[in-house]
Amino acid sequence: MRVLGIDPGLRNLGWGVIDVDGSRLSHVANGTLHSIGEDMPRRLLSLFEQLREILRLYVPDTAAVEQTFVNKDGAGTLKLGQARGIAVLAPAEFGIEVGEYAPNKVKKTVVGVGHASKDQIAHMVKMQLPGAVLTGPDAADALAIAICHAHHATSRTRIEKALA
């Protein structure tokens, strides 16, 4: 199974692709997309087009996106929500199911604690994906989201097989 993890952001949208073979995870690629344009519609369109290219290039079987957290800045939260919409829409256009995970769930799954720092996340991603060269913190977060989805999807599959 190939998993695309997406860390939504309006300026920087992190992405990471991993392959899953049973309990074995391997790094495929990662990076950060940057929005281009002066106004919101053009910035969102640029992210959408770039993410579609990642989907075409790496052909994932499934995708996962971090859920938006609400902070004190309502306008900032709404902008992040629009970027998250792009992160969910692009895979849906390709017929790919999208898992959604709270930031604390991703951290707990990958690091073991729900309030891990960016450095701790990057460290554990490197431990779980030996040889992976992280292109930045947004890409590291996206790989963590992909790892989280892989673990939960694998567990879900085992439960379904056991019940059948």
Q: What residue ranges do the domains of the chain occupy? A: 2-163
Q: Tell me which CATH homologous superfamily contains domain 2-163.
A: Ribonuclease H-like superfamily/Ribonuclease H (3.30.420.10)
Q: What is the pLDDT of residues 78-125, one digit of tens each?
A: 888 899 999 999 999 999 999 999 999 999 999 998 889 999 999 999
Catalytically annotated residue among 49, 53, 138, 160? 138
List the structure tokens of 97: 């199911």
Indicate if 66 belongs to the active site: yes
User: How far apart are the C-alpha atoms of 52 and 96, rounded to whole Å?
Assistant: 12
User: How far apart are the C-alpha atoms of 85 and 133, rounded to whole Å?
Assistant: 28
User: How far apart are the C-alpha atoms of 34 and 45, rounded to whole Å?
Assistant: 11
| Predicted confidence (pLDDT) at residue 158 exceeds the cutoff of 80 | no
- Numbered residues of the known binding site: 7, 66, 138
| Predicted confidence (pLDDT) at residue 23 exceeds the cutoff of 80 | yes
Catalytically annotated residue among 7, 38, 61, 119? 7
Catalytically annotated residue among 21, 39, 49, 66? 66
pLDDT at position 47, please? 97
Indicate if 138 belongs to the active site: yes
**Cross-strand partners of 64:** 5, 99
- Numbered residues of the known binding site for Mg(2+): 7, 66, 138
User: How far apart are the C-alpha atoms of 31 and 24, rounded to whole Å?
Assistant: 22
